[in-house]
Amino acid sequence: TTTPTFAAVDLGASSGRVMTARIGAGTLDLTEVHRFPNRPVRANGTLYWDLLGLYGNVLDGLRAAPPELVSVGIDSWAVDYGLLDGNGTLLGNPVHYRDTRTDGVMERVRAEVGDDLLYQVSGLQFLPFNTVYQLVAARADLERAETLLLIPDLLAFWLTGQVGAERTNASTTGLLDVREGVWSGTLIERLGLPGRLLPGLREPGEVIGRPRPEVAEETGVAAGLAVTAVASHDTASAVAAVPATTGRFGYISCGTWSLVGVELPAPVLGEESRKANFTNEGGVDGTVRYLRNVMGLWLLQESMRAWGSPDLPALLAEAERVPALRSLVDPDDPEFLPPGDMPSRIAAHCVRRGFPEPRTRAEVVRCVLDSLALAHRRTLREAVRLSGREVEVVHLVGGGSRNDLLCRLTADACGLPVVAGPVEATALGNVLVQARAHGVVGDLAEMRDLVARTQTLRRYEPGGDAAAWAEAADRLR
């Protein structure tokens, strides 16, 4: 018998990839077949995703995949969507969650509806770009629309003609009832949003459909290829592939964002949790991803862009020699959210908070990494405190796990061992959910075990000056 092959389409905020995986008993080989940049485009004052460009790359990736492909699954960043009219035509180009159209909207909605109701129902962290606030900001666009599809669901619709809302990603909209697992009629009504837009929910592992004939013809994939729903929120896929070997683990899914938290069997919806702005997003098998969005490597990525993309390894090597914990920022300050000149914002923030201004690029990079490590510490400790879940190891997965200095600083700051990797946790979680749906692997524990046994991981024991980290954490508070 041959080892079945699955494909993951994984779209991140700065790049996308199509990976294939051969999965069998004790085997998990991941191969990248196509990688492409994801560059937001500003036109007439609005920041958009180039969604047709991304779809073109999805088709290119399928064309490059081996013919024995059994199934393909799609994941992407959360919250963003496209609107379809009654004929399935896309109405307008999907807008980027960092666009300014939501400025002030969340504050208005919170004042009108009340934090308590919003949090009790959705369990979601208050982030200005949650789908619900985008919809309120774009109310006028909704009139002609019949269907709202989140990004992975929209791409799956283009591939198969089938509509639906995959549950883990739906949990990031702010409109899903976290306890009932259904769209919240209460919130939809309170906000005066057209409920008809929200399609039926689908579970990770459900087969969505087969390629449209023209898609099969254009890409050469088999007519019987399964397009399978995965944990289509990239963070949910990443958490599914955390190579945990104990239940007492925390995770940091580290890329453009750092998603820092724990996995729970049930949501935490109390007042303390709401005030700490923790989210209860949906994971696979009814698990709750109890976490907080930390601004993440966006600060570094956006600085690199401002500098014209110099050599990163050289810069990181220099940053390693910069004295620790001199200049610090709170990465979660909303001033860092929009695109634009990041080094100046970082420098001004340091000065405002009474820290020395970072002057060289290496100093800026060191400031970002020290500050992120501190944010990882603060957030993980809060997750532990608010959930009561004990943590003895931190799994740092995603692109950030390549950053040796960040992994080491995170171990030191958290005072816990950090297991770094896999880099491609999201793609792994994507293919593993498909493999399970097609009977190749067992439950979540077995999926994680397979990742732990087959992928290269690095372990960082905590070291450094624990008192200095504690003091820096206090100073930032």
| Interface residues toward ligand LFR, by CB under 6 A | 12-13, 77-79, 97, 233-235, 255-257, 259, 293
Minimum separation from the CB atom of position 352 to ligand LFR (A): 26
To ligand LFR, the closest distance from the beta carbon of 291 in angstroms equals 8
Using only the alpha carbons of the chain, give its radius of gyration. Answer: 21
Decide whether 235 or 327 has the Cβ nearer to ligand LFR. Answer: 235
Cα-based angle 434, 184, 77 (whole degrees, multiple of 5): 40
- The per-type count for the chain, helices as H runs and strands as E runs, is 18, 19
What is the C-alpha to C-alpha distance for residues 15 and 77, in angstroms, rounded to an integer?
11
The angle formed by the CA atoms of residues 169, 286 and 266, to the nearest 5 degrees, is 105
Please report the DSSP string for 420-458 in residue order: E--TTHHHHHHHHHHHHHTTSS-SHHHHHHHHHHHS--E
Residue 372 in contact with residue 294, Cβ under 8 Å? yes
- The nearest distance, CB 279 to ligand LFR, in angstroms, is 8
CB of 13 to ligand LFR, least distance (A): 6
DSSP sequence for 241-256: T---SSSSEEEEEESS
Tokens representing 77 are: 């960043």
Closest to ligand LFR by CB, 22 or 233: 233
Is 177 considered catalytic here?
A: no
Give whichever of 219 and 287 is closer to ligand LFR, judged by the CB atom.
Answer: 287
Q: What would you measure as the largest C-alpha separation in the chain, in angstroms?
A: 65
User: In 78-163, which residue ranges form alpha helices assigned H by DSSP?
Assistant: 105-113, 115-122, 131-137, 151-160
Smaller CB separation from ligand LFR, 211 or 421? 421
CB of 207 to ligand LFR, least distance (A): 24
**Tokens, residue 328:** 């610090």
Nearer to ligand LFR, 81 or 460 (CB): 81
Count Cβ atoms below 10 Å from residue 70 Cβ, excluding itself: 18
Choice among 234, 332, 443, 449 that is catalytic = 234
Distance CA 349, CA 336 (A): 10
**Least CB distance from residue 173 to ligand LFR, whole Å?**
11
Pick 80 or 146: Cβ nearer ligand LFR = 80
Residues 55, 215, 153, CA angle at the centre, nearest 5°? 50
Q: Which is nearer to ligand LFR, 234 or 412 (CB)?
A: 234
- SS3 of residue 104 by DSSP: coil
Q: Shortest approach of ligand LFR to residue 125 CB, angstroms? A: 8
Q: Which residues are catalytic?
A: 234
